[in-house]
Amino acid sequence: MPAHPLEPLFAEEIAAAAACIRAQASLDPNSFFETITLDEPSRAERAAFNESDTVPPRRAYVCCYERASNRTFRGRVDLDQDKLLSWEHVPGVQARIPPDEFDASDKIAKADPRVVEALAKRGITDLDSVLIETWAPGNFGIEGEEGKRIAYCHCWVINDAGDNRYGRPIANLHPVMDLAAGKVLRVDDFGVVPLPPDTAAIRPSEGLRDDVKPLDITQPEGPSFEIDGYAVRWQRWNVRVGFDLREGLVLHDIGYEDGGRLRPIMNRASMAEMVVPYGDPNGGNFRRNAFDTGEYGIGTALDSLKLGCDCLGHIHYFDVCAHDWDGKPAPIRNAVCMHEEDFGLLWKHTDSHTGKFRAVRSRRLVISSIATIGNYVYGFFWYFYQDGTIGTEIKATGIPFPTAVPPGEQPKYGALIAPGIASHVHQHSFNFRFDMCVDGPENAVREQDFEAAPLGPDNPHGNAVTIVERPLSRESEAAREIDLARSRSWKIVNTSQTNALGQHTAYRLVPGQNTLPYLQPESPVAQRAGFMFKHFWATQYDPQQLYPAGWFPNQHPGGDGLPRWVEADRSLEDEDVVVWYTMNFHHLPRPEDWPVQPVVYASLHWMPEGFFDQNPALDLPPHAITS
């Protein structure tokens, strides 16, 4: 039995869910399991558990793809009773591409004479050196693809050192797979481009530098956190680590102990969808648009982390369990890392008359996971600070998608990053879902702008700044963009709770680096990724509204998710509010990103605003003080 209803499914439960589906769902035996993950308890079940220890039934959400009929099914299994609670065919959708299917196409494509011939035309005969990767195809209305389960493949040759499968791109060659039939539908060949020279070794051409002295992180008295299963308590923060096969790392029940009571802030926080549209319209390159969460799954792609490499200091690791496409449990050891980090100065005051000062260092709790999806590596980092701030940060690394260009040619829609290798301009768009509960279940949404006041009798010196706060009371009003000219941000308030100043308690979402999408709104990709076009969205909680591009973005014709949900125009005033934030990260790779890209960061913060009466970190022991 799990210690808490929100604990991720463990291996035996995954196996039991798969067995139940096989026995009770009447699926063709050649079907595969897209997803087996925790079906989280409802709001009512959670309340009953918290108030009276009533343990809700353990349930699994399961999604399967039936190859024989090209149909996607989903439902729920009651694991306590080994019973199928619901099971439905979802018409007109395609399941995600699980890792086994992603890997299987390489072999199938290489067995096809048309692919072998196209490779030979490029002087490539050693098929073992070739990587043929299965990318979700999007939905471009291309003849012959409709109604089929398709993958649009990209190809590379491994480098001589054998450490970079993406080292030598084969441009313009795209086997198009019929995944249900397990065969190549056609081969898109837009012309031979010479293989670029091998510059791809992920190691220096000369020796390693020898002037890096040891830097040890030691915590002689151990960490400051306490752990009970997946529940964590650290510096007044309470948070529960969770896992979803699709989203990966999920955080539940984020709250802060203040004056002897636990004040809730978020029910659940996750990176709920992402898309990476590439900007080259030529050949088959327009089909590169990866919804890494909804088309592939972040949870299935988590790395097993290594001490001293991915994380330093006193680490606590959480294990999770994914599964393969046969429904067999696939445990991921050390999938989630938790540790404390020194974060420099938190606050300091120096009395300039006396020279006396008081300074306090900042420490943050870091909870993180790293996912490897094809060439790219994404780190998902959550931070909790001693001053009540919550941060989340994406760390993007790995190999920027390389393609070949003819010698002497400058790529129009990308940058030359190595001899004969271009990487196209693209955007990584992440959408975070924050299920809010600031000081209670009912919240409201406020937007804050700053406006320069016109010159006039009230503003004779031209320095006045007006603070404009407006309620975003309905979903139609709450789909918003960042406005640099107004330093725009949003806060989630509890209108029934006040601080010592009589202000409503609140948390403010403070955007970090961001940009707008370059996709034309009419484009097929934009239709599927409508969430990209607004930085801030707020909706009334609906347990079915979890993923901002909908449940099935793979090959979807578009229009699902946030843009559709907000048409309901539900009230957001003193309601159960969910905030969705889009972080668009614009990326043109550089030569310095080859053959592997130093981490690029993108982040956002939630800061308490009037949640506390004053600086909540005044009580930290100073690290430097004069008497």
User: Which string of x and - marks every residue 108-127 that binds Cu ion (by CB under 5 A)?
Assistant: --------------------
Q: What are phi and psi of 588, to 5 degrees?
A: -115, 110
β-pairing, 624-625 with 357-373?
antiparallel
Residue among 39, 178, 292, 560 flagged as catalytic:
292
Part in contact with Cu ion (CB under 5 A); list of ranges 24-32, 84-92, 263-271, 583-591: 583-591
Q: What span, in angstroms and rounded, lies between the C-alpha atoms of 220 and 605?
A: 31
Helix (H) or strand (E) holding 330: strand 329-350
- Kindly provide the residue ranges of all beta strands, DSSP E only, lying in 179-260, ordered along the sequence: 183-189, 225-228, 231-234, 237-244, 248-258
> Smaller CB distance to Cu ion: residue 16 or 271?
271
> Smaller CB distance to Cu ion: residue 587 or 605?
587
What would you report as the CA-atom Rg of the chain, rounded to the nearest whole angstrom?
26
> Smaller CB distance to Cu ion: residue 58 or 587?
587
- Kindly provide the residue ranges of all beta strands, DSSP E only, lying in 453-575, ordered along the sequence: 465-471, 489-498, 504-511, 536-540
| Residue 621, number of CB atoms within 10 A of its CB | 7
**Tokens, residue 197:** 């020279």
By CB under 5 A, what part of segment 352-411 binds Cu ion?
none
**Tokens, residue 252:** 């539940």
Classify each residue of 548-557 as buried b or exposed e, where b means 16 or more C-beta atoms within 10 Å of its C-beta. bbbbbbbbbe
Q: What are phi and psi of 33, to 5 degrees?
A: -90, 115
> Smaller CB distance to Cu ion: residue 116 or 588?
588
Part in contact with Cu ion (CB under 5 A); list of ranges 186-194, 292-300, 445-453, 582-590: 582-590
**Tokens, residue 130:** 């070739």
Q: Is the peptide bond before 137 cis (omega within 30 degrees of 0)?
A: no
- Give least dist CB 457 to Cu ion, A: 52
- Give least dist CB 80 to Cu ion, A: 44
- Give least dist CB 279 to Cu ion, A: 11
Part in contact with Cu ion (CB under 5 A); list of ranges 66-74, 94-102, 522-530, 581-589: 581-589
Part in contact with Cu ion (CB under 5 A); list of ranges 31-39, 176-184, 307-315, 585-593: 585-593
End-to-end alpha carbon distance in the chain = 54
**Helices 113-121, 99-110: crossing angle, 10 deg rounding:** 70
> Smaller CB distance to Cu ion: residue 168 or 587?
587
Residue among 230, 256, 278, 376 flagged as catalytic:
376
**Tokens, residue 103:** 């890997």
User: Which string of x and - marks every residue 529-568 that binds Cu ion (by CB under 5 A)?
Assistant: ----------------------------------------
Part in contact with Cu ion (CB under 5 A); list of ranges 9-17, 494-502, 586-594, 602-610: 586-594
By CB under 5 A, what part of segment 41-80 binds Cu ion?
none
- Give least dist CB 299 to Cu ion, A: 21
Q: Of the candidates 59, 71, 363, 587, which one interacts with Cu ion according to CB under 5 A? A: 587
Is 376 among the catalytic positions? yes
* H-assigned helices in 244-373: none
Residue nearest to Cu ion according to CB distances in the complex: 587
Q: Nearest 10 degrees: CA dihedral of 312, 317, 321, 323? A: 10
**Total residues binding Cu ion (CB under 5 A):** 1
- Give least dist CB 269 to Cu ion, A: 24
Part in contact with Cu ion (CB under 5 A); list of ranges 72-80, 291-299, 403-411, 580-588: 580-588
**Tokens, residue 401:** 């998608």
Classify each residue of 511-542 as buried b or exposed e, where b means 16 or more C-beta atoms within 10 Å of its C-beta. beebeebebeeebbbbbbbbbbbbbbbbbbbe
By the 8 A CB rule, do 330 and 33 touch? no
In angstroms, the Cα distances linking 258 to 201, 246, 467, 476, 613 are 53, 34, 29, 35, 11
| Residue 355, number of CB atoms within 10 A of its CB | 8
Q: What span, in angstroms and rounded, lies between the C-alpha atoms of 229 and 239?
A: 12
> Smaller CB distance to Cu ion: residue 433 or 587?
587
- Give least dist CB 600 to Cu ion, A: 7
- Give least dist CB 588 to Cu ion, A: 9
By the 8 A CB rule, do 263 and 253 touch? no
- Give least dist CB 25 to Cu ion, A: 40
- Give least dist CB 396 to Cu ion, A: 6
Residues 6+ apart with CB under 8 A from 566: 475, 476, 478, 479, 537, 539
> Smaller CB distance to Cu ion: residue 367 or 519?
519
Is 317 among the catalytic positions? no
By CB under 5 A, what part of segment 268-307 binds Cu ion?
none
> Smaller CB distance to Cu ion: residue 76 or 590?
590
> Smaller CB distance to Cu ion: residue 29 or 598?
598
Part in contact with Cu ion (CB under 5 A); list of ranges 118-126, 299-307, 349-357, 584-592: 584-592
- Give least dist CB 402 to Cu ion, A: 12
> Smaller CB distance to Cu ion: residue 430 or 612?
430
Q: What span, in angstroms and rounded, lies between the C-alpha atoms of 473 and 509?
A: 17
> Smaller CB distance to Cu ion: residue 293 or 386?
293
- Give least dist CB 394 to Cu ion, A: 11
- Which residues does the annotation mark as catalytic? 292, 376
Binding site residues, Cu ion, CB under 5 A = 587
